[in-house]
Amino acid sequence: MTRTDDVTGGRAESAVLFGGASVVCWFCCPFWMIVWPLALPIGLTGVVRGVIECRAASHRGVSRARPLTGLVLAVVGTAAAVAYMIFVFTHPDLPIQG
């Protein structure tokens, strides 16, 4: 019997997946100019999924440890992408933009 009140759509813990992927991108690829356009949407997806999963966990009365972990990882990955994006756009003298 399946539950129909699952707001996560059966994809529980996808916040951890997206959040972890947005952080792993920064450690696995040394070419940050390539990484930030990939890490930004992945991280934003993880933030949204983390909020949805945290709310769903609190309504169901289950542990919110995994959704919060995914949310924190996604925020860290997204913040790194935004910080690097701001750095690149505020330094037009970088050779990558020439």
Instruction: Please report whether residue 37 resides in a domain.
Output: yes
Q: What is the mean pLDDT of residues 7-26?
A: 79
Instruction: Please report whether residue 23 resides in a domain.
Output: no
pLDDT given for residue 27 in this prediction:
87
Q: Which domain holds residue 51?
A: 32-91
Q: Please check whether residue 19 is in contact with residue 44, taking contact to mean a CB–CB distance below 8 angstroms.
A: no
Overall number of domains in the chain: 1
Pick 95 or 32 by higher pLDDT.
32
pLDDT given for residue 11 in this prediction:
57
In whole angstroms, what is the distance from residue 70 CA to residue 45 CA? 11
pLDDT, tens only, 28-61: 888 888 888 899 999 999 999 999 999 999 898 8
CA distances to 14, 56, 70, 93, 94 from 10, in Å: 10, 11, 16, 47, 45
Give exposure, 35-58, as e/b (b: 16+ Cβ within 10 Å): bbeebbebbbbbbebbebbbebbe
The pTM of this model reads 0.79
Instruction: Please report whether residue 40 resides in a domain.
Output: yes
Instruction: Please report whether residue 17 resides in a domain.
Output: no
Q: Flag whether pLDDT at 20 surpasses 50.
A: yes
